[in-house]
């Protein structure tokens, strides 16, 4: 299924833009043209002047942003700058103006912050890099931010996670336009997954945050962290503080927004990931992390990462181990 008319793709760039956010999706569209698509890619900046990327590489552009001509797809690349600072008004306008007439609008990684500043994510579901998903939610309270999604579609608005997820998103756009067969050819040519398994959680840092404020609760969390393999049932944990199981559950809910059982599970999950990273087998990791069985660990990995422990280890085993032999 190949469209007869050319499909215009405008990529919005600006000083500090992440170079891979621009090059990755552009490469997908260019490769799609080799298999029969007809994407016409242009780079636009707010003023029409060339910009400097995050790597110091100068990017020449094709022109300035305007409402004419209308593009079929507007892509807004991301930058490390705007999770840390407010998006300037002229940059927000540079996204808002062409978005008003574009067939669909998409952001790569932290480009979602530009869309949010332009009011383009209000009332929508969206994603961005897992590290800054909380900040996007704070800046756009009406947006439902999914911190685990690789990319999200809400109507004609698309958002994607970290920089390489821009390739996943671009492949999804190509599939929308031309179907799975052409897209599969593009993915194979680029040696990437057509659709990668799991969400962003498999790439994120361990889940545990700051220690609890309450000395009593800190005593329990330190106990679990120090010996994840011990009996940390609700009753046993409550005995350590000489409190009721109900009171302990309330402490966890009020301070950590979780349950004692889920906290113990998350500690064991983080330890199991670290053990798999170090080269332990899945069975060894389950035992050393304190899971009752491999099957119980596999269920947690499925819930947390949407992949199995073995699949996780294949993705994140070190290059040194991968190249031995």
Q: Compute φ and ψ for 232, nearest 5 degrees.
A: -115, 40
- Say which residue the tokens 């994607």 belong to: 160
The DSSP H or E segment spanning 34 is helix 19-34
Angle (deg, nearest 10), helices 245-256 and 234-241:
90
Q: Does 229 participate in catalysis according to the annotation? A: no
- Scanning the chain, the segments in alpha helix (DSSP H) are 19-34, 89-99, 111-117, 133-139, 165-190, 215-226, 234-241, 245-256, 260-277, 282-289, 294-305, 309-316, 319-322
Cα–chain-centroid distance for residue 232? Answer: 32
Task: Give the chain's count of helices (H) and strands (E).
Answer: 13, 11
Name the active-site residue from 109, 140, 143, 229.
Answer: 109
Q: Tokens at residue 198, please?
A: 């799991």
Which active-site residues does the annotation give? 109
């Amino acid at each position: 299924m190949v469209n007869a008319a050319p499909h215009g793709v405008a990529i919005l760039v600006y000083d500090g833009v992440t170079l891979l956010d621009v090059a990755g999706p552009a490469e997908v569209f260019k490769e799609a043209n080799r298999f029969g698509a007809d994407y016409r890619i242009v780079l636009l900046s707010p003023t029409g002047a060339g910009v400097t990327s995050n790597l110091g590489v100068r990017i020449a552009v094709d022109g300035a942003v305007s409402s004419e001509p209308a593009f079929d797809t507007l892509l807004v690349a991301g930058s490390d700058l705007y999770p840390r600072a407010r998006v300037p008004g002229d940059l927000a306008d540079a996204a808002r103006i062409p978005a008003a007439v574009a067939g669909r609008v998409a952001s790569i990684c932290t480009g979602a912050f530009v869309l949010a500043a332009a009011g383009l994510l209000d009332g929508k579901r969206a994603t961005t890099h897992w590290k800054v998903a909380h900040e996007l939610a704070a800046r756009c309270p009406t947006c439902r931010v999914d911190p685990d999604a690789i990319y999200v579609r809400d109507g004609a608005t698309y958002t994607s996670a970290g920089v390489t997820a821009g390739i996943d998103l671009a492949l999804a756009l190509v599939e929308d336009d031309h179907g799975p067969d052409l897209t599969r050819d593009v993915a194979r040519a680029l040696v990437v997954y057509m659709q990668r398994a799991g969400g962003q959680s498999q790439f994120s840092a361990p889940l545990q945050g700051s220690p609890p404020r309450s000395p009593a609760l800190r005593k329990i969390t330190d106990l679990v962290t120090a010996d994840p393999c011990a009996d940390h049932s609700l009753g046993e944990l409550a005995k350590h503080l000489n409190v009721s199981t109900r009171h302990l559950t309330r402490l966890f809910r009020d301070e950590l927004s979780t349950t004692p059982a889920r906290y113990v599970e998350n500690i064991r999950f983080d330890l199991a990931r670290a053990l798999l990273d170090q080269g332990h087998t899945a069975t060894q990791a389950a035992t050393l992390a304190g899971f009752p069985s491999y099957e119980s660990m596999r269920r947690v990995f499925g819930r947390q990462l949407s992949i199995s422990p073995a699949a996780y280890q294949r993705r994140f085993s070190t290059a040194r181990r991968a190249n031995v032999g």
